[in-house]
């Protein structure tokens, strides 16, 4: 599978807004809360169509999460949205105490995650949210790679009771997953098979991993590409199979190396199928201001750096 733009560039936050609006027409139990950012999170699409089921909670994520939990306790399915930095960082206590602990049927959808937020800079580039959310019992964590997968993820979490965190991007990216693509909670999709090395990517980095596989193929190296959208629950079986069959894994994400998807992969590999793992991500530092594309390249999360890391790892593993 190569990266091909099938129908223009769409930010995953935009796909979220459209899918949420569609769900509102299909299900009367869907309620949406936002922290005064509905134009940016794209929940404004839902607000326009179903104003009686939309609540602007103001600049108060903590209150939004508490209210979401209360509404969910009445049998409703609640989506709560803000920028990831605020939904996760500002409201952690409420997320832990009022969503994860009572297993509330609330879907926290954080937009503007990672360094692809771009010019907003380090203060808004949340790089810790996967680590924070995956450590919470009962919380599931998903990072869709493009608009098509986003629609499937939002529909899947709406249909599955209990807490979920969905990480969404600001930057527009190609829609490259095929029409017959099928997301399942707890499953990793193998986008390309390979025998020499595995590259496991999540979110906006998946398209770069595929491009890296093309570069490696030109050097005679066969790279297996895994789309790790479901970070928790994690598909241990697919990871162990990849570790045993390829013998080396590179992970890539726009998140801190500590505690992110790469850490989750390394934990599985260490326990079940030890092999070398190289984690690409933010190395214990904050981001910078710049365009999303510039920052991805600057911090080594695009195809040249990924393929370079794979070659280096193969050299050490041989």
pLDDT digits (tens, 9 = 90+) for 182-240: 999 999 999 999 999 999 999 999 999 999 999 999 999 999 999 999 999 999 999 99
Q: Is the pLDDT of residue 3 over 60?
A: no
Residue 203, domain CATH: 3.40.50.920
User: Would you put residue 120 in left (φ > 0), alpha (ψ -120 to 50) or beta?
Assistant: alpha
Residue 52 maps to a domain: yes
| Same-domain status, 22 and 170 | yes
Enzyme catalytic residues: 61
Which pLDDT value is given to residue 15? 97
CATH number at residue 61: 3.40.50.970
Evaluate whether residue 163 is within a structural domain. Answer: yes
Same-domain check for residues 195 and 165: no
Last residue of a domain, one of 144, 174, 204: 174
Burial pattern 58-73, b for ≥16 Cβ within 10 A else e, equals eebbbebbbbbbebbe
Q: Is residue 1 a part of any domain in this protein?
A: no
Residues 19 and 133 in one domain: yes
For strands 173-174 and 223-227, give the pairing.
Answer: unpaired
Quote the CA–CA distance of 205 and 301 in Å, as a whole number.
7
Task: Give the whole-angstrom CA distance, residue 73 versus residue 191.
Answer: 39
Domain containing 264: what range?
189-317
């Amino acid at each position: 599978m190569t990266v091909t733009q099938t129908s223009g560039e769409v930010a995953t936050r935009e796909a979220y807004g459209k899918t949420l609006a569609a769900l509102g027409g299909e299900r009367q139990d869907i309620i949406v809360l936002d922290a005064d950012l509905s134009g940016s999170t794209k929940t404004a699409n839902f607000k326009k169509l179903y104003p009686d089921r939309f609540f602007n909670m103001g600049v108060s994520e903590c209150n939004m999460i508490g209210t979401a939990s209360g509404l969910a306790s009445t049998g409703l399915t609640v989506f709560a949205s803000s920028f990831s930095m605020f939904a996760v960082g500002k409201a952690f206590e409420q997320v832990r105490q009022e969503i994860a602990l009572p297993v509330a049927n609330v879907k926290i959808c954080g937009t503007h995650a990672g360094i692809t937020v771009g010019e907003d800079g380090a203060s808004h580039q949340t790089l810790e949210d996967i680590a924070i959310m995956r450590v919470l019992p009962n919380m599931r964590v998903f990072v869709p790679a493009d608009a098509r997968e986003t629609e499937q993820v939002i529909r899947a979490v709406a249909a599955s009771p209990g807490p979920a965190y969905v990480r969404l991007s600001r930057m527009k990216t190609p829609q490259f997953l095929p029409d017959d693509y099928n997301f399942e909670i707890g499953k990793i999709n193998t986008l390309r098979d390979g025998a020499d090395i595995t590259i496991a990517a999540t979110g906006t980095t998946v398209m770069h991993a595929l491009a890296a596989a093309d570069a490696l193929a030109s050097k005679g190296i066969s790279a297996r590409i895994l789309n790790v959208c479901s970070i928790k629950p994690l598909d241990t079986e697919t990871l162990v199979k990849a570790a045993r069959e390829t013998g080396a894994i590179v992970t890539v994400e726009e998140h801190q190396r500590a505690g992110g998807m790469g850490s989750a992969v390394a934990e599985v590999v260490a326990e079940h199928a030890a092999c070398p793992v190289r984690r690409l991500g933010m190395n214990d530092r904050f981001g910078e201001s710049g365009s999303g594309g510039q920052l991805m390249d600057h911090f080594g999360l695009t195809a040249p750096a990924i393929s370079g890391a794979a070659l280096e790892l193969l050299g050490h593993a041989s």
